[in-house]
DNA sequence: GCCAACGTTGGC
DNA sequence: GCCAACGTTGGC
């Protein structure tokens, strides 16, 4: 059974439109152990991903992607010329891992962070509580509700 | 651009 | 193995 995740990207680095253009992309550059462990150990091909724009005005969920390649070494950590270079990474001990994701859809509307904070059923989301984790789990109910909000909006309430 | 929250590093 | 110092994230 597919699992659900949320991945953050700064739109001026790599936006949902960039992913749409490319079709699929490796998720390189994550340098946080918890996020790494999720990509290395937990994310499986076919898993659903919510695409989040951080450092945007406003920040929010903008679309969906899907995991197409499971955890493998992030080679940018071994490239001295890359801005994600980590001198402690090597072929024997790659240290950092990534997955590949593919574009699924861009939502017809942005689900802005302040609006998500108003939704009672989403109060337990990692996004709303431990906001710094850039790859994080999402519950199935949360994912389903977000898809519905993406299609129907937040309503007049 | 500020800065709070949080993660990492490294001396001891 | 503690924890102070430092660096980064990311909302505002």
pLDDT along chain A (157 residues), means of 10: 94 95 95 93 96 94 97 90 84 91 97 94 91 92 96 77
**Could you tell me the distance in Å between the CA of residue A128 and the C1' of nucleotide B3?**
19
Res A130: pLDDT: 78
Res A81: pLDDT: 82
Tokens of A152: 């129907």
Strand pairing partners for A48?
A4, A66
Q: Which nucleotide is nearest to A32 (CA to C1')?
A: B7
Strand C contacted by A99 CB (< 7 A): no
- For strand B, give the nucleotides within 7 A of a protein CB: 5-8
Res A156: pLDDT: 53
């Amino acid at each position: 059974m597919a699992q659900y995740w949320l991945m953050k990207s700064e739109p001026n680095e790599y936006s949902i439109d960039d992913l749409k253009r490319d079709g699929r992309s490796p998720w390189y550059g994550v340098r946080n152990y918890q996020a790494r462990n999720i990509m290395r150990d937990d994310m499986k091909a076919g898993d659903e991903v919510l695409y989040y724009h951080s450092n945007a005005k406003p920040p929010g969920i903008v679309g969906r992607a899907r995991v197409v390649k499971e955890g493998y070494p992030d080679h940018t950590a071994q490239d001295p010329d890359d801005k994600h270079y980590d001198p402690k990474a090597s072929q024997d001990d790659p240290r950092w891992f990534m997955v590949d994701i593919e574009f699924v859809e861009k939502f017809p509307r942005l689900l802005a962070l302040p609006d998500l904070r108003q939704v009672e059923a989403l109060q337990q989301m990692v996004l709303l509580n431990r906001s710094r984790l850039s790859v994080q789990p999402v519950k199935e109910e949360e994912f389903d509700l977000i898809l519905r909000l993406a299609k129907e909006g937040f309503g007049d309430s």
